[in-house]
């Protein structure tokens, strides 16, 4: 497997690709003291990586992946963070939809409470942080059904009398043709039930 050598002299061995969207995320292995054996590497533009690393490094919450390191390599940078073994909320919901079933009510309530708790934590920060991209694909569920909010590259910190300016999508990683993009650069998400045959979708 290929290794990437980074300025801090830590070495990461790419195990597999986990996902691809506005960035590419890999599972990686490291033997460095003080780090878990498995970590997640998020490859994106230097600007986005610096932004996300700055935010993640300032946060400590059970529903937010821990930040470990930042790798800068020419035009790309890699945010090294906690690896979450599990599935996205999109995958979780799709499994039930494929069976024409609904998730257990108790699990739905638990996930809703966890999501509200982590968003409240962000909003109560000083200065407050707005995540700006809450959707099933940015929510991870661990094997024990703990919820994690992922993908902080367009989150923003609100400073006094200052606006929250989005980072533009990386070249070649813009929303796919045919999908409308929000002001943050993310494709607008429509719940599965709203796209069922005969259902109306608001503009």
CB 168 within 8 A of CB 52: no
Which helix (H) or strand (E) covers residue 80, if one does?
A: strand 76-82
| Cα four-point dihedral sign 98, 146, 29, 167 | positive
60 plus 155 within the same structural domain: no
- Measured CA to CA, the distance from residue 124 to residue 68 in angstroms comes to 24
75 plus 153 within the same structural domain: no
Where residue 141 falls (left for φ over 0; alpha for ψ -120 to 50; beta otherwise) is beta
72 plus 120 within the same structural domain: no
Looking at the domain assignment, is residue 153 inside a domain? yes
Q: How confident is the model over 2-19, as pLDDT tens digits?
A: 444 444 556 889 999 998
Burial environment of residue 101 by CB neighbours within 10 A (0 to 12, 13 to 18, 19 or more): exposed
Residue 178 is part of a domain; what is its CATH number?
Answer: 1.10.510.10
Lowest mean pLDDT among 6-10, 140-144, 173-177, 190-194: 173-177
Name the residue range of residue 77's domain: 12-82
Catalytic residue among 69, 133, 151, 153: 133
- Measured CA to CA, the distance from residue 60 to residue 196 in angstroms comes to 39
Looking at the domain assignment, is residue 4 inside a domain? no
- Measured CA to CA, the distance from residue 82 to residue 48 in angstroms comes to 18
Catalytic annotation present for 133: yes
Q: How confident is the model over 26-42, as pLDDT tens digits?
A: 999 998 888 999 999 99
CB 167 within 8 A of CB 54: no
In three-state secondary structure terms, 156 is strand
Looking at the domain assignment, is residue 174 inside a domain? yes
154 plus 93 within the same structural domain: yes
Query: Among 52, 82, 112, which residue terminates a domain?
Result: 82
């Amino acid at each position: 497997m290929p290794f990437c050598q980074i300025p801090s002299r830590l070495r990461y061995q790419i195990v597999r690709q986990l996902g691809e969207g506005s960035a590419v995320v890999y599972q990686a292995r490291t033997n460095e003291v003080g780090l878990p054996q498995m970590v997640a590497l998020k490859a994106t533009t230097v600007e986005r990586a610096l932004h996300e690393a700055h935010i993640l490094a300032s946060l400590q919450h059970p529903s937010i992946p821990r930040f470990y390191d930042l790798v800068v390599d020419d035009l790309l940078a890699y945010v090294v963070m906690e690896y979450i073994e599990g599935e996205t909320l999109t995958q979780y919901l799709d499994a039930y939809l494929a069976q024409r079933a609904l998730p257990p009510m108790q699990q739905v309530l638990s996930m809703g409470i966890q999501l509200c708790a982590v968003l409240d934590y962000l909003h109560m920060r000083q200065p407050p942080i707005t995540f700006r991209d809450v959707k099933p694909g940015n929510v991870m569920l661990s094997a024990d059904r703990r919820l994690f909010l992922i993908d902080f590259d367009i989150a923003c910190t609100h400073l006094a009398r200052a606006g929250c300016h989005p980072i533009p999508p990386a070249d070649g990683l813009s929303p796919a043709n045919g999908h409308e993009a929000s002001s943050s650069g993310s494709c607008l998400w429509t719940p599965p039930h709203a796209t069922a045959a005969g259902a109306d979708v608001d503009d």
